[in-house]
Chain A
Amino acid sequence: MSATTTTSVETHDAHQTNGQHERLQHHFASLDQQFDASKMGMWLFLVTEILLFSGMFVAYTVYRVWHPEVFTVASEVLDPVMGGLNTVILLASSFTVALSIHFIQKGNQKALTVNLILTVLGACGFLVIKYFEYTGKFSHGVFPGENFSPHGDYAFVDIPYAAQFFSIYFVMTGIHGVHVLIGIGLFIWLIIRALRGHFSAEWYTPVELTGLYWHIVDIIWIFLFPLLYLI
């Protein structure tokens, strides 16, 4: 660790003089090895997340191959402006979480906290827009499952197999929304720890791993937006 050129607080430097760190667990040889092990564990978890969503993407693909014209008509119910706005919000929050890691690597705890707060605001904004989208659908009888009975402006979508499209829409965006909710919880936890000064340039593993999780949530939405709203 002698090569470290960061400007961290003195308390951490004191622990490093003999190659040890207060965060280093005894079964790891070094902080780097510990960091790499944590990160690979996170990537393995992210693969299970991708596989969870891929089940729903397969359902989407099968129904789209069977009824392509229904999907084209049904997707007109979804508002690309709201979906697009949510895409931009999620991309921006992915950017701020990448910045939070960038700044804590430089030892800048204040910029870390600011960027984590911006990220959590973006995540909340996403869910607020999602709430308005869902209630807008519900008020016109567009429900998942057998209660599907569109009326009013959405009466044109009362066609066979449109119910399947909306079941897929609500399940996919719903489970994605649950992931956003979990993300908000994780970011609040990170903000509290950041304010208590738990993170430094030498040790910021929770920020890195939560960042990876948040980027996967972003990537899922990157695919959901065009597949559900646009085409």
Chain B
Amino acid sequence: MAQGKLRAEIHEHHLTPFKVLLGTFLGLIILTVLTVLTAALDLGAANVPIALTIATTKAVLVVLFFMALKYDNQVNTLVLSVGLIMVVVFITFTLFDTAFRGDISNVNPQTIMEIEREQQALETGGAEAAAPQGGEH
């Protein structure tokens, strides 16, 4: 690359205004209070996604304004994005294994549907309902 071109690109670093930094900090404190309050409520299964959504919002605020990625060279956004995609792959593909163990590696000659029907019959109807279905194998 020509020296002249690089010289021409010289620019001042972005100076994030004090008000923006203060606003980000106050926003983060408000979100912290919010996550404590919502976690105190018993919302059942909704508690986890709510807490994660608030935490992600806080992380985005820190990255955009405290780390100034919003005003930064876009190659850094690319670096972070590739890293985050890898984290998603890591978690998702691990869960493909751990969350479905026992389902996919089933080596029983019966199908899962048959086993479930058998169990249901045992729970509701006792031995007489299970007898015609199962048999020896």
Contact = CB atoms under 8 A, between A and B. Distances in A.
Contact of A223 (B16, B55, B98): B55
A29 B7 contact: yes
B113 interface: no
B11 A66 contact: no
Interface residues of B, number: 51
Contacts of A105: 13, 15
Contact of A231 (B18, B51, B76, B86): B51
A24 B82 CA distance: 30
Interface in A64-82: 65-66, 80
Contacts of A215: 62-63, 66-67
B6 A33 contact: yes
B15 A219 contact: no
A231 B83 contact: no
Contacts of B52: 226
A226 B84 contact: no
Interface string B33-70: 00110010000000110011011001100110111000
A91 B28 contact: yes
Contacts of B133: none
B112 interface: no
A188 interface: no
User: Which of B18, B66, B80, B90 has its CB near the most chain A CB atoms (within 10 A)?
Assistant: B66
A213 to B, nearest CB: 10
B73 A39 contact: yes
A124 interface: no
Interface in A198-231: 211-212, 215, 218-219, 222-223, 225-227, 230-231
Interface residues of A, number: 53
Contacts of B16: 98, 102
A54 B90 contact: yes
User: Which of A44, A58, A65, A97 has its CB near the most chain B CB atoms (within 10 A)?
Assistant: A58
A34 to B, nearest CB: 11
Contacts of A222: 55, 58-59, 62
Contact of B21 (A51, A55, A99): A99
A115 to B, nearest CB: 11
A29 B8 CA distance: 11
Contacts of A54: 86-87, 90-91
B101 to A, nearest CB: 9
Contacts of B98: 62, 65-66
B73 A40 contact: yes
23 contacts: A3-B10, A36-B73, A46-B83, A47-B82, A54-B87, A58-B90, A62-B95, A66-B98, A80-B36, A84-B32, A92-B25, A95-B21, A95-B24, A98-B21, A105-B13, A105-B15, A215-B67, A218-B66, A219-B62, A222-B59, A222-B62, A226-B35, A226-B52
